[in-house]
Structure 1
Amino acid sequence: MRDVEARVLSAIDEAETVNLLAETVRVPSVTGTDAESDLQHRFAGMLAEAGMDVDVWKLDLDDLRRRAGFPGTEAPRTEGYGVAAVTGGEGVPALALQGHVDVVPTGDLAKWEGSDPFAARIAGGVLHGRGACDMKAGLVANLAVVRALKRAGVSLDRPLAVHCVISEEDGGLGAFATLARGHTAEAAVITEPTSGAVITANAGALTFRLEVAGRAAHGATRYEGVNAVEVFWPVFEAIRRLEAERNRDLPGVFDGNAMPYPIEIGTVRAGDWASSVPDLLVAEGRLGVRLDEDPAEARAAFEEAVLGTAHPWLRANPPAVTWPGGQFASGRLPAGHPLLDEVRRAVADTAGRTIAEAAAPYGSDLRLYAAGGVPSLHYGPGDVRFAHAPREQVELSELLEVTRALALLAVRRCGAR
């Protein structure tokens, strides 16, 4: 390892990094809330203190909604801010480290140990709390890298960028806005939790809404009506058949995952009176998009399955299908791109282990960067099985391991002296 590499690695302040993660988790930056904006400004200030040139801007939401490729949103939003920072050298950044500040809602507080999801409780080398895994640990690792570069007093030959984005959880508006503003890079590492692997491909996910009509009647004479819940069942069975069909003949990169393209119903609402036959059922869910599949083709396959049921009532009264909310296409790192091997070497040289390549069954900002001409992959601290759960957590040793690997990657990709 070169002297400049060793200097940067030794400049990583582990206690500071852990403390920063705890402070960051304590900010309840749920998508679309004021706290999300607050955390963006905090990171902008810390990136400036680390010696970076920082661009902070208020998103023009109306303009973004009109742009081709707008990724959709699900959470109510009145404002949003972008943060992109650059340090070292001239020209296009050789590397961007990207992370999102927003988190999903907490759910039932009674399910959380200690009942406070934002307490950032540390026990046994593990930090617990909403956002600890998805993805404030990755966000903090990115900042710890640039702090170490400044502390080590190194100069980069080519620029390094850090992108802090909002609204990843409900569609990717922040990444979309960052790219639209002209912030780019030769390659990007998105520090989402990867369970010790490196993720080079994402399936997509499209939010759908179904409206299934029935016919109202008094509950005492239900045979005069048509129960929307009952006629929804053939639609649900058709969705399950489509799911099975779409998960046959899977790409090898999904080895070990029997269902990378799930279709799930997340919410169901029906009826407005206990003694009436419900005349409307509304169901919302997500449709998995296959790797390299045009989302329009995925929508068409879903609509064909939903509208093709043989039930006589449904033939005469077909369900209405709409596509609100987040619309995640798939994305992947181009085959043979050197970033994969560069990340693997950085991990091997700092942690002494070889990391596996894998693909993820969920959508992310990767597809927006890839579509914007920025080859990207995921490598970050945390186990995605804890994401969005009341047991969300991250091992602090993993946070520090990832920070070291990213620091070495930044020095090697950008060049340092």
Structure 2
Amino acid sequence: MNKKDAVYRWIDDHTAEVAGLLQQLIQAPSVNAEMDEDPSYKYEQRAQECLKTFLDNFGMETEFQYPNVEKLRVYEGKPGYYPDHKFDNRPNLLGTLKGQSKGKSIMLSGHMDVVPRGTKWTHDPFGGEIIDGKIYGRGACDMKGGITCMVMAAKAIAESGMKLKGDVKVGTVVDEEAGGMGTLALIAEGNRADACLITEATNLQIAPLCRGSLWGKIVIDGRSGSIEMKREDFREGGPVDAIEKGRMYLKAIKNLNQEWAITKQHKYMTLPCQINVAEFHAGEYPTTYANHCEIVFDAQYLPSEKDQNGLGSRVKKELENFVSSVAETDPWLQENPPHIEWMIDADCGETLDDQPFFQQVVKSAREIHPSSEIEGIGFHTDMGWFCRVGIPTMNIGPGNPRLDHHSDEYVEIKDLVTCTKMIASIIMDWCEISE
């Protein structure tokens, strides 16, 4: 019999415990404190305390570490640093299951914060209800389901009497949904391992990279005037329709996306990087030409495009040049050039397929779930800082990421069980079973 079978059997026998832990985590609301939500649902402390008790009970050594903004000031200009964030009642949780000898270690990481409830739920967003084999609640996919799988995998190994050569570490962080300062703090405190597995929802696919995301706003000025009168030349004081100028940019973005569809591809991404327009704001009154227009967009970039700080300054410059080039085609815009106001730069990371951890994760995960494909993540995960300090990092988690942040967010119990086995397989192969 395969030595690992006892661990898989333990997981099957404790399916109810797997589901129960996720329910407990959902029932401990942990909305990111930087977001607009009822204060009674904010802060990660309750959920972290729940998980700490769980880890303590099966023998992990645990501690809380509270991010210190002043101490992190040395990271200004780098990913995840936000000087105005506060961390009262918002600890990172660290846990360690000691190995028997000098084997390779692994960090299992996930973020405990969730986004606000939103609207149109048909289930209690913090109830953790089980209906037809699905667990509903805010964070079920993003990403308390993944956290449940990774810690249950560690418990299954410990409770089955399996001894490992290397350490298994757990690092559940705060603040991912508002920029990632929790993971920055975890790294800044010197927490390290030979590899890292992040359990964001991937639908059980194997994700060796995530893309970076730039949020920006193209600001275009026009000149107001009566919309019911013949327009005079702007040089004579006539009105200029900012909506019309905005349409120029929408068309130009569409053309640039066709170019990016060819030049910004990755072999493990199903979609190329694109500039996605999310909002268009213009106009003040039905009989007045719009004198101002704002186009809010989300643009992705590849790990190969990040700058020396791990951010997207090169792609920012590319987009700023694009805005200027469009302006050069129009006399009004030449004299009144639009500009971009930058909002967010969420970093990215990648583990290359010639890395031993990449190869081990693929082999070990497919032992349990042979249909798992290698597929990068189009959204941000916290892998950037792990990669930046030399820790190879992969992403695998339960649940469909399309359900992240949705009303009636859920994860299927069968996927929780499968993912727990996949992670256990990775841990046992990477850290090695001690004879």
Instruction: Please indicate the TM-score interval, normalised by the length of the shorter structure.
Output: 0.7 to 0.9
Superposed CA offset, 1:84-122 (max 9, x none): 221213779611111111222333x22x334x3333232
1:58 Cα deviation from its structure 2 partner? 1.6
| Aligned ranges 1:76-91 → 2 under 5 Å | 77-79=85-87, 80-89=90-99
Equivalent residue number for residue 321 of structure 1:
340
1:334 Cα deviation from its structure 2 partner? 2.4
Contact in 2 for aligned 1:96/1:187 (Cα 8 Å) = yes
Contact in 2 for aligned 1:93/1:161 (Cα 8 Å) = no
SS in 2 for 1:357: coil
1:138 Cα deviation from its structure 2 partner? 0.4
SS in 1 for 2:44: helix
| Aligned ranges 1:51-130 → 2 under 5 Å | 51-68=59-76, 70-72=78-80, 77-79=85-87, 80-89=90-99, 94-107=105-118, 109-110=119-120, 112-114=121-123, 116-130=124-138
SS in 2 for 1:292: helix
Contact in 2 for aligned 1:328/1:367 (Cα 8 Å) = no
Task: Indicate yes or no: 2:250 matched with 1:240.
Answer: no
Distance change (3 Å), C-alpha of 1:399 and 1:386: same
Query: Identity of counterpart residues, as a percentage?
Result: 26
Distance change (3 Å), C-alpha of 1:143 and 1:39: same
Task: Indicate yes or no: 2:211 matched with 1:203.
Answer: yes
1:313 Cα deviation from its structure 2 partner? 1.9
Contact in 2 for aligned 1:122/1:128 (Cα 8 Å) = yes
Task: Indicate yes or no: 2:355 matched with 1:346.
Answer: no
Equivalent residue number for residue 56 of structure 2:
48
Distance change (3 Å), C-alpha of 1:281 and 1:55: farther
Equivalent residue number for residue 165 of structure 2:
157
1:227 Cα deviation from its structure 2 partner? 3.4
Match for 1:252 among 242, 264, 267? 267
SS in 1 for 2:305: coil
Separation in 1, partners of 2:285, 2:68: 42
The residue type equivalent to 2:416 in the other structure is L
Equivalent residue number for residue 184 of structure 1:
192
**Which ranges in structure 2 are unaligned for 5 or more consecutive residues?**
35-41, 232-237, 307-311
Moved more, 27-36 or 121-130: 27-36
SS in 1 for 2:166: coil
Separation in 2, partners of 1:217, 1:300: 34
Separation in 2, partners of 1:73, 1:210: 24
Distance change (3 Å), C-alpha of 1:273 and 1:371: same
Contact in 1 for aligned 2:106/2:197 (Cα 8 Å) = yes
The residue type equivalent to 1:244 in the other structure is Q
What's the TM-score, normalizing by structure 2? Answer: 0.85
Separation in 2, partners of 1:92, 1:229: 62
| Aligned ranges 1:369-408 → 2 under 5 Å | 369-408=386-425
1:157 Cα deviation from its structure 2 partner? 2.0
The residue type equivalent to 1:167 in the other structure is D
**Which ranges in structure 1 are unaligned for 5 or more consecutive residues?**
none
| Aligned ranges 1:326-341 → 2 under 5 Å | 327-341=345-359
SS in 2 for 1:61: coil
Between the two proteins, the alignment pairs up a number of residues equal to 408
Task: Indicate yes or no: 2:40 matched with 1:23.
Answer: no
Equivalent residue number for residue 286 of structure 1:
298
Distance change (3 Å), C-alpha of 1:192 and 1:218: same
The residue type equivalent to 1:230 in the other structure is E
Equivalent residue number for residue 412 of structure 1:
429
1:30 Cα deviation from its structure 2 partner? 2.3
The residue type equivalent to 1:105 in the other structure is P
Separation in 1, partners of 2:104, 2:111: 19
Task: Indicate yes or no: 2:33 matched with 1:32.
Answer: yes
What's the TM-score, normalizing by structure 1? Answer: 0.88
Moved more, 50-59 or 367-376: 50-59
Contact in 2 for aligned 1:11/1:148 (Cα 8 Å) = yes
Separation in 1, partners of 2:401, 2:268: 17
SS in 1 for 2:130: strand
Superposed CA offset, 1:114-152 (max 9, x none): 4x3333232221222322112111011112122223322
Moved more, 220-229 or 21-30: 220-229
